[in-house]
Structure 1
Amino acid sequence: MKNILYTTFIFLIYMQTHAQFLLHYGKPASKFTLEQRNNYNKLGYMQEALPLGNGRLGVMFSGRIDEEHIMLNDITLWMNSKRGLDTIAQSGVRIGAYKNFDKVREAYEQEQYGTSENSMESMSTKYLSSNQPLGNYAPFTDLYISTGHDSAAVSNYKRTLDAHSGIGQVSYQIGKAQFTREYFCSHPNDVVAVRYTADKAKMNIKIHVNTLHNIKKINAVDNRIVLIGEVSMVQDNIEFLQLVYIDAKDGKSIPQTDGSFLIENTSDVKIYVTAYSDYLPIYPSFKGRDYKTDTQKMMDAAVKIGYEQLKQTHIKDVSALMDLCQLALDYKPSGLATDKLIKQGASIELENLYFNYARYLQLSSSRTAPVPSNLQGLWNGHLKPAWNADYHNDINVAMNYWMVETANLPDSFTPYVEWLKIIAESGKHTAKEGFGIEKGWSAGLNGNVFGFTAPNEHGRRMQQSGAWLCQNLFEHYAFNKDVNYLKEIYPILKGAAEFYVEFLAPWKDGSLVVYPTWSPENVYLTEQFSNLNKQAYGASWDQQLVLNLFTDCIEASTVLGLDKDFRKKLQEIIPKLCPQKIGQYGQVQEWPEDWDSPTDQHRHISHLIALHPGRDFSPLTTPKLADAALVTMKHRGDISTGWSTAWKTNFWARLHNGDKAYQFYQFLTSKRAYSNLFDFHPPFQIDGNFGGTAGVCEMLLQSHLRSIDNKANKIEKATFVAYQKSSEENNHFVLVSPSESFAEAPYILHLLPALPSAWPDGSIKGLRARGGFEVDIEWKNGKLIGAKIHATTNGKFRIYSNGLLSEVMALEKGETKIWTN
């Protein structure tokens, strides 16, 4: 009894100290049944098991008593696709599509709506859409550890994940014996480590591995389990090696003929796992890693280092990143298990935990791998996951990376950059072979790890995503002001802009628009042409993003002193783009035609991308467009899927309505979260986790506006405005080209722009602002107490707080400014 009470006391102290980072449960996760693995709509393991990751390897552990199931993923592992084609075919583009591009465009120019044989959609499907398989993100392997313990005999069970240290734990008692498990996934040493210990008892354990893919070899020898597998592709199967090393300190290790190990009479067993496939991010082969040698070297190094050093290095690595930004809201920890905390409903405790946990998921799913996090981060146990667990270029992959900037995990952006280099290389072939455009690159709606950039197989999903993908790319520069990084990405930015320069075409009023396109997933004129009528021209989100891209290219070329003539061309094109329009209901029009419906509660609100994550709609600088955005938000309603709820959190924050933004964040955390806090789309999509945390950052700090008149003391006079009211059409807003001086314009740091009344007291450390600044903010009774602005590079800025705009201030790298009202 004394031992039980002591253990409980220690756990409670730990929980109180780490409440804002700790997920904890009083029961194991469900068993991952075959039915669940074959049907992602069957809930259980994936919604209850706890995630670990190092950005390349993903792990989930169930904590089951009789048999632990550790699921592993490799973020580069895909199946059912093609690799190793020639440079054109590998892009997925329909060969010779460009020959029929003008024919397809005629259907748009003639306004052939609907899905008839000669419609825009049918012509796009027939002549432009890819017929190459995209494939899907694949599960990797499974590690099973059987204990023989009877769950009915267990007491004092606890299962935890400490997001501050990246350590998972399971503990329970059987009689007087104490059993403890520990799990982590190391980024510095690229290895998964597991430890089982017993106090006042001995353990008899069976360890075996499996995979849903073809097993070419499996054996157990010299304390190692060797698994060589092969993943089915439409062309060129992928091979991989996984090694499991077993260190039973005081027990006996007995290899079995089925490739498993029996560990007898042990009180301490350590297990290391690492693996690689033959994938390399080399277009178009995507092959070449010496995966057997690399796996062996990594395992040998881990064994030599030893468990304790691996663990301490891992904790130091994760905690240093987690400490970069911390939200501290005012609440008293309830002590409730996380699943019960969620069931209880909305609470500040849950909202604080969700924020910190999302940052943990970010660093766990995106570090230094050559591909970014996908729809499920890097955790997937299904052979056919929802939406292929792919890269949706129309919001999802972008949303995955909004919070790396504001929530201070900038190094997590590296995989996005590396992947986009491949996309740009592949996209050159899609631009030329698909549309007959010689310069630049293009990418469609869906992507994979094999450079797929072709238009989607369904004509109704035709879009060009280069501008959307490049928005994140330039934002990373805006936050770090690293000129060397800008040099690295400039060819990608310029290539995307070059494509649009040629792709834009006149609409009926003479303005330039993007087409073929759609406004993602939404429909119009449904009574005449059905609910599949999606193809369009000049969708507002396209036009807004093209302006962003051209403006970013103008700034980048100015900073780098490159391409003066191209810069001038972009400046000349911008005013010719189709204006943004306010429609008959006072809403931002989703299309050039006023087709919007006030009863349309669609989850996509892409035509407000200029509000967020763009920077050109603002209550402070474009009040009429902001009011129109407000009408649109009211039309779209309050009930949404996970990622849409997250995006609406950001929209309302940018509209400076903190209570409305909070309403959506509250709904996201309490009604759109599974018991392991994975986002509930349904089913699981991780962009909701990341987008929600980005929304919290936007409530507390915004830095997207620029001061071009540094003598003006009113923000509406000082700030660059990208849309000006047309002198000819009352509700039309024409686009404005920036001058070269725009590149020197200081960013405006808006403190507490949308603080919700539900959070009267609190603080946040380490928010990042554009211009190269880190910001700590403290508030009490809903009012700003003070802020610290720390410069990560030399830079200038202005502060906007309580309706007042400061003078321009300058800091050198390493300096800090204390700000109080």
Structure 2
Amino acid sequence: MSGMIRTILWSCLLIVVATQAKAQTVLRYDEPASKFTTAQREDPNKKGYMQEALPLGNGRLGAMFSGGIEEEHLLINDITVWMNSKRGLDEVAQSGTRIGAYREFDKVREAYRNGNYGTSENSMEAMSTKYLSSTQPLGNYAPFADLYISTGHDSAQVSAYSRSLDARTGVGKVSYSIGEGHFTREYFCSHPNDVVALRYTASNATMDLDIRVETFHDIKNVKAEGNYVVLTGEVPMVKDAIGFQQMVYIDPGKGKLVPQEDGSMRVVGATKVKVYLSAYTDYLPVYPSFKGRNYAADNKKNIQAAVGLGYDRLRSVHEKDVSSLMDRCQLHLDYQPSGMTTDRLVKKGASLELENLYFNYSRYLQLSCSRTAPVPSNLQGLWNGHLDPAWNCDYHTDINVEMNYWMVDPANLSESFRPYVEWMKVLAQSGAHTARETFGINEGWSVGLNGNVFGFTAQNEHGRRHQQAGHWLSQNLFDHYAFTQDRDYLEEIYPILKGAAEFFVAHLAPWKDGSLVVYPTWSPENAYLVEEYGKLNKQTYGAAWDQQLVLNLFTDCIEAATLLGKDKGFRRSLQEMIPQLSPQKIGQYGQIQEWPEDWDSPTDQHRHISHLIALHPGRDFSPLTTKELVDASLVTMEHRGDISTGWSTAWKTCFWARLHNGDKAHQFYQFLTAERAYPNLFDFHPPFQIDGNFGGAAGVCEMLLQSHLRSVEAEATTIEDAAFIAYKKDTDQPEHFLPVVPDESLAEAPYILHLLPALPSAWPNGEIIGLRARGGFEVDIIWENGKLAEAKIHATADGDFRIYSEGKLSKVISLKKGEEIVIDN
């Protein structure tokens, strides 16, 4: 294909992107969301407002709007609002660790060595609970406040109602008519200016509005004065309540403001009303106080800046900010738009239109709930209206918080990763105390199953739920470097990686066969030998997921240290330790063993499939390099079946994509979008958990582009000969696969860009722009009739790579930053 034709083709693609963007990013409804009733507030499983209202966010500050006719209800969230926990303790206590637990640690381990299963007094679980578990309250994420705007309108008189959210611009809208009068509203949450903004407009009519604020926390003061409604309060904590303030500025235009004695504001005779809202707590990510922000001063500064800028300019800056990120990566499947409202589209069931919208919308949710905040997105991202949310709306480290960040780099939203990094810095600081006090380890850091915004790193209160998570959390850290190739970032996070590895170097212990294993541990949330010991028999030793992640961590740490020219002796110690790690095992049914013994049941359909972490999000099982381990993975997938919760469905989408089965991956993605989506497209576990949205988008990326394999043999012409292989068969025990020591040359090995590795037959034609690949590359792909038509690879950093497509491996290709190459079929 000539250069001119290529240019024309890509120009046409950009035109298609521009013209289709709105149709593929807008959520539309012809009625308001349900009111947020007391029953819904108290029970997260009850459907209504949270499943129908539309979300706005700038990564820290969030809002949901209902579009109510008689009354608009905006739920306001701040990512730092936690309650019922502690902060401001001394450095050791703030970690939540059970101080001095290390003195009894070997006594606990003895229960494991003796095989004390079940839940009896001397069992592994009971001993772990008694001697290692934290007694400190974790607390839970909580709503900030509520903004209500009453209109006095009668819904029975309304015609032509419309409610929408454009995910490309981050602007929500409501419009309707009453007689000759026409009423419109706009809503957005600005990242550049850190405020929520609204505009109410009336044509051929005037508006009388009542504006009030409420919170479920302790109110210190609420007052309406001048143009302001200011709410000041405290969030209850076991120790050191969190101070907060919400400031609302109202510009009534030609209308009149009438402050009310109850702290609300009345707007009379207006045709255009603008509202600006700023909200902060006193939280700062400073261990162990987590305090210090002057929220009143920051609120005042934000409001004054927004008012000075003016609504139109504020919105213009906001739209440019959001659209610049949304336009980087867009999926365009070949379908005819139905014209349906989004709720009807979901109710109708599976469609390419819904699948396309879900992916683009998931990217919007990502940038809306994670950008420059001091902590990452939680189980519900940013949006929560419950004082007692499901699973504390916390940070679960056994997949959920990691899954929240799988898609940020592949889907070209690297900025969203920063809150995760800042949180990890706190965990490493806090986790050093947990490593020492709980496990007697004086180097590195440790973290358990549940986290909060106050540096909680201790072991869970239930011994059956004990685990280590530093290896999985660190996997996300290094993978971000793999995509960005940002050497300054690698320097920044290297101490965290090294600390995680140092902990495991000391924590790993020899088992009866002499191999090194992690224990106490579990295989997240699953149980074994249930008939013998009950459904709470969860604790074990050397679970497959732990062992896979330790190898992953040690390999990443070796590579990072090599690239930075650091810690040659430590690198060598990791290399010497890797061959001693417990092997991966294929069991009696031909499955990957989840447990150290062959305890797997072919009827076990548990939602967690943690022993396939090496398949995804890891990189060490692949159909192209480890066929026997992949065959065993397929048996495991067959055993676990197709019934899934939201996030589990998303993970299975990723698994099947990595297994290069596009139709099976699509089956799960289709189920996720059609059967695991609420009317506002929030994922449900059930109830709402946002990790399914993010995991589903990651699965789409995996279907269209994979880049986790490395070419260590530059002259090899087949991928089997070229790629680094992390496990090799044990010649003495052929069902065992031993960890491979990475040579330091792996640090410079080119990534292999596998184009359309799992393209579903249901997507015969389409295109995606702006996918990211490891090695520092941006990739646009067009496919026709199920085959690659053309791909463009753009280098965001100097680098080498190889292309793998339709069974063929290219030679090594080198690009300088800013250069690009077009690959056609």
| Fold similarity call, TM over 0.5 | yes
1:174 aligns with 2:165: no
Q: Partner letter of residue 691 of structure 2? A: D
- The one-character-per-residue Cα deviations of 1:44-76 (angstroms, maximum 9, x if unpaired) are 000000000000001000001000000000001
Deviation of 1:291 after TM superposition, in Å, equals: 1.2
The whole-number CA distance in structure 2 between the counterparts of 1:455 and 1:82 is 16
Alpha-carbon contact 1:145-1:205 (below 8 Å) kept: yes
1:192 aligns with 2:196: yes
Alpha-carbon contact 1:15-1:22 (below 8 Å) kept: no
Q: Partner letter of residue 389 of structure 1? A: C
1:811 aligns with 2:806: no
1:781 aligns with 2:785: yes
The whole-number CA distance in structure 2 between the counterparts of 1:819 and 1:133 is 55
Deviation of 1:359 after TM superposition, in Å, equals: 0.1
1:45 is aligned, of 49, 64, 79, to 49
Q: Partner letter of residue 766 of structure 2? A: G
The whole-number CA distance in structure 2 between the counterparts of 1:309 and 1:539 is 56
The whole-number CA distance in structure 2 between the counterparts of 1:472 and 1:207 is 43
1:666 aligns with 2:666: no
**Structure 2 counterparts to residues 674-693 of structure 1, below 5 A:** 674-693=678-697
**Structure 2 counterparts to residues 353-502 of structure 1, below 5 A:** 353-502=357-506
The whole-number CA distance in structure 1 between the counterparts of 2:166 and 2:561 is 45
Match of 2:134 in 1: 130
Q: Partner letter of residue 338 of structure 1? A: T
Match of 2:236 in 1: 232
- For the residue of structure 2 that corresponds to 1:352, the secondary structure is helix
Deviation of 1:241 after TM superposition, in Å, equals: 1.0
Q: Partner letter of residue 322 of structure 1? A: M
Q: Partner letter of residue 56 of structure 1? A: R
Match of 1:703 in 2: 707
Deviation of 1:784 after TM superposition, in Å, equals: 0.3
- The one-character-per-residue Cα deviations of 1:463-495 (angstroms, maximum 9, x if unpaired) are 000000000000000001111110000000000
Match of 2:716 in 1: 712
The whole-number CA distance in structure 2 between the counterparts of 1:498 and 1:754 is 37
- The one-character-per-residue Cα deviations of 1:566-611 (angstroms, maximum 9, x if unpaired) are 0000000001000000000000000110000000000000000000
The whole-number CA distance in structure 2 between the counterparts of 1:317 and 1:639 is 39
**Structure 2 counterparts to residues 191-270 of structure 1, below 5 A:** 191-270=195-274
Alpha-carbon contact 1:582-1:589 (below 8 Å) kept: yes
1:654 aligns with 2:670: no
Q: Partner letter of residue 357 of structure 1? A: Y
The whole-number CA distance in structure 2 between the counterparts of 1:194 and 1:215 is 24
Match of 1:614 in 2: 618
**Structure 2 counterparts to residues 630-641 of structure 1, below 5 A:** 630-641=634-645
2:295 is aligned, of 291, 295, 305, to 291
1:111 is aligned, of 110, 115, 124, to 115
Deviation of 1:455 after TM superposition, in Å, equals: 0.3
Deviation of 1:810 after TM superposition, in Å, equals: 0.2
1:33 aligns with 2:32: no
Match of 1:4 in 2: none
Q: Partner letter of residue 691 of structure 1? A: G
2:514 is aligned, of 506, 510, 533, to 510
1:537 aligns with 2:541: yes
2:753 is aligned, of 741, 749, 752, to 749
The whole-number CA distance in structure 2 between the counterparts of 1:115 and 1:601 is 23
The whole-number CA distance in structure 1 between the counterparts of 2:543 and 2:154 is 60
Q: Partner letter of residue 662 of structure 1? A: H
- The one-character-per-residue Cα deviations of 1:129-159 (angstroms, maximum 9, x if unpaired) are 0010000001001000000000000000000
1:761 is aligned, of 758, 765, 779, to 765
Give the percent of matched residue pairs that are identical in Structure 1 and Structure 2: 73
**Structure 2 counterparts to residues 45-84 of structure 1, below 5 A:** 45-84=49-88
Q: Partner letter of residue 746 of structure 2? A: F
Alpha-carbon contact 1:251-1:267 (below 8 Å) kept: yes
Alpha-carbon contact 2:521-2:540 (below 8 Å) kept: yes
Calculate the TM-score normalised by the size of structure 1. 0.98
Alpha-carbon contact 1:649-1:695 (below 8 Å) kept: yes
RMSD across aligned positions (CA):
0.8
Deviation of 1:712 after TM superposition, in Å, equals: 0.3
CA gap of 1:15–1:376, structure 2 versus 1, over 3 A, is farther
1:797 aligns with 2:801: yes
CA gap of 1:740–1:278, structure 2 versus 1, over 3 A, is same
Match of 2:316 in 1: 312
Deviation of 1:18 after TM superposition, in Å, equals: 1.3
- For the residue of structure 2 that corresponds to 1:145, the secondary structure is strand
1:725 aligns with 2:725: no
Deviation of 1:290 after TM superposition, in Å, equals: 1.1
Alpha-carbon contact 1:65-1:151 (below 8 Å) kept: yes
Alpha-carbon contact 1:787-1:820 (below 8 Å) kept: yes
1:560 aligns with 2:549: no
Match of 1:335 in 2: 339
2:150 is aligned, of 137, 146, 161, to 146
Number of equivalences? 808
- For the residue of structure 2 that corresponds to 1:405, the secondary structure is coil
Deviation of 1:680 after TM superposition, in Å, equals: 1.3
The whole-number CA distance in structure 1 between the counterparts of 2:300 and 2:507 is 49
The whole-number CA distance in structure 2 between the counterparts of 1:755 and 1:268 is 50
Match of 2:3 in 1: none
1:524 is aligned, of 521, 528, 540, to 528
Show structure 1 runs of 5+ residues with no match. Answer: 1-13
The whole-number CA distance in structure 2 between the counterparts of 1:261 and 1:480 is 49
Q: Partner letter of residue 506 of structure 1? A: P
Q: Partner letter of residue 210 of structure 2? A: K
- The one-character-per-residue Cα deviations of 1:253-289 (angstroms, maximum 9, x if unpaired) are 0000000111001000000000111100000000011
The whole-number CA distance in structure 2 between the counterparts of 1:477 and 1:226 is 43
Q: Partner letter of residue 614 of structure 2? A: A
Deviation of 1:31 after TM superposition, in Å, equals: 0.3
2:740 is aligned, of 736, 739, 743, to 736
The whole-number CA distance in structure 1 between the counterparts of 2:610 and 2:423 is 24
The whole-number CA distance in structure 1 between the counterparts of 2:497 and 2:515 is 23
CA gap of 1:695–1:811, structure 2 versus 1, over 3 A, is same
Q: Partner letter of residue 90 of structure 2? A: D
Deviation of 1:15 after TM superposition, in Å, equals: 11
Deviation of 1:95 after TM superposition, in Å, equals: 1.1
- For the residue of structure 1 that corresponds to 2:23, the secondary structure is coil
Deviation of 1:296 after TM superposition, in Å, equals: 1.0
Q: Partner letter of residue 823 of structure 2? A: W
Alpha-carbon contact 2:421-2:477 (below 8 Å) kept: yes
- The one-character-per-residue Cα deviations of 1:667-724 (angstroms, maximum 9, x if unpaired) are 0000000000000110000000000000000000000000000100000000000000
Alpha-carbon contact 2:21-2:168 (below 8 Å) kept: no
- The one-character-per-residue Cα deviations of 1:442-465 (angstroms, maximum 9, x if unpaired) are 000000000000000000000000
